[in-house]
């Protein structure tokens, strides 16, 4: 029996935190802070997404409890429905008892049927596509995936969505439009101001080139990677160069910038033969152009000598009739008459 298509559920929650879609994503490479898993929590009403980093799956219960406390404190709301797949880390006995103690309705999906938890699966794929595109574009190593994934979730919550009538999930959840003036190109270079306490001495430079890794904790703080020791550095003042990527082997310019084309040498139509073939003849080939070293004016090439053509003999001038002398031909001699017998006259 072939697998059948699943019906689309167009129903949506009527208020924030009424329905939360949950799924867990594992990564093959440990991150910078030794994380290897991410829990995604997706609000069905506003499409707002939270990501929780885990070192082991055993930390899922404690991290989820902290998230519930954050929602109750910051938004004064409680989760009503919890929808997740049949993963062991989210279906353990302790985890299920924690949800029941809070009075949350659990909506499990059938084993190996990812379509029943499609919204959580979709948001994971969306964030993975964004984070990997940013990471590869900036030539950042695989172990830094936690920074690109976190930044992708931050951008998703501040991106207008057609389903929300081109409003952002942040606006629908908080009631105000987000401030995006602090956003920069992920992985770009930045000259970060160093406070006097960080410098070695008074002769040390006041700024260093670092890698931008997203928004830091606090108001308008930025997170940087300090080279060459790869140490996290948080600062509020920096001069960004969004066309420079320090981790790449060469300076990488944005696609919008185009190189200036080289000047094209003019073609002399008088000395250049036609490229169109004559009737019944083979197409003419242009003469080979000598190579020029470097940039500059082309060498003056002397035109090929013309082929030698023999002169045409002059034609005789037409003469009038009166100018032509009359030629008299001599008459041939006539033989003497011969007398025949019986032909005499009477």
In the chain, where are the structural domains located?
Answer: 19-174, 189-241
Percentage of the chain beyond pLDDT 70 is: 66
Domain 19-174 listed as CATH 3.30.300.130:
no
Helical ranges in 57-159 per DSSP H: 60-74, 93-101, 118-137, 145-156
How far is Cα 95 from Cα 225, in angstroms, rounded to an integer?
Answer: 36
* Helical (H) or strand (E) element with 173: helix 169-174
How far is Cα 291 from Cα 285, in angstroms, rounded to an integer?
Answer: 18
pLDDT at 316: 59
CB atoms within 10 A of CB 166: 8
Does 275 have pLDDT greater than 80?
no
How far is Cα 121 from Cα 202, in angstroms, rounded to an integer?
Answer: 53
pLDDT tens-digit series, residues 31-48: 999 999 999 999 999 999
Strands of 19-26's sheet, edge to edge? Answer: 49-54, 37-43, 19-26, 81-84, 105-108
Which of 263 and 242 is assigned the larger pLDDT? 242
Half-sphere exposure of 339 (CA within 13 A, CB side): 4
Q: Residue 109: which residues within 8 A CB-CB, separation 6 or more?
A: 83, 84, 85, 86, 116, 117
pLDDT band per the 50, 70, 90 thresholds, residue 84: confident
Least confident of 45-54, 72-81, 107-116: 107-116
Does 102 have pLDDT greater than 70?
yes
How far is Cα 93 from Cα 22, in angstroms, rounded to an integer?
Answer: 17
pLDDT band per the 50, 70, 90 thresholds, residue 235: very high
CA distance readout (Å), 24 to 48, 94, 129: 16, 17, 16
Half-sphere exposure of 183 (CA within 13 A, CB side): 12
* Helical (H) or strand (E) element with 26: strand 19-26
């Amino acid at each position: 029996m072939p697998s059948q298509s699943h019906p689309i559920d167009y129903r949506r929650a009527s208020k924030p935190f009424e329905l939360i879609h949950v799924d867990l994503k594992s990564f093959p490479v440990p991150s910078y802070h030794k994380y290897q898993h991410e829990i995604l929590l997706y609000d069905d009403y506003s499409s707002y997404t939270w990501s929780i980093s885990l070192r082991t799956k055993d930390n899922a219960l404690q991290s989820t409890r902290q998230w519930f406390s954050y929602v109750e404190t910051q938004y004064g709301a409680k989760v009503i429905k919890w929808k997740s797949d049949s993963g062991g880390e989210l279906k353990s006995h302790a985890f299920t008892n924690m949800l029941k103690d809070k009075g949350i309705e659990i909506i499990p999906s059938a084993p190996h049927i990812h379509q029943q938890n499609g919204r959580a699966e979709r948001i994971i794929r969306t964030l993975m596509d964004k984070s990997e595109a940013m990471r590869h574009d900036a030539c950042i190593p695989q172990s830094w995936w936690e920074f690109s994934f976190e930044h992708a979730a931050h951008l998703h919550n501040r991106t207008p969505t057609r389903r929300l009538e081109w409003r952002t999930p942040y606006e629908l959840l908080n009631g105000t439009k987000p401030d995006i003036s602090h956003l920069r190109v992920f992985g770009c270079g930045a000259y970060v101001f160093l406070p006097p306490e960080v410098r070695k001495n008074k002769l040390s430079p006041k700024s260093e080139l670092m890698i931008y890794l997203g928004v830091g904790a606090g108001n308008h703080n930025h997170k940087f990677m300090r080279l060459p020791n790869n140490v996290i550095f948080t600062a509020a003042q920096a001069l960004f160069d969004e066309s420079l990527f320090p981790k790449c082997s060469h300076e990488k310019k944005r696609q919008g910038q185009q190189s200036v084309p080289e000047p094209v040498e003019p073609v002399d139509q008088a000395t250049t033969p036609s490229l169109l073939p004559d009737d019944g003849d083979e197409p003419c080939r242009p003469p080979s152009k000598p190579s020029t070293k470097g940039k500059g004016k082309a060498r003056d090439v002397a035109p090929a000598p013309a082929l030698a053509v023999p002169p045409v003999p002059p034609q005789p001038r037409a003469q009038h009739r009166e100018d032509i002398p009359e030629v008299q031909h001599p008459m041939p001699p006539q033989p003497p008459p011969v007398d025949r017998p019986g032909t005499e006259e009477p």
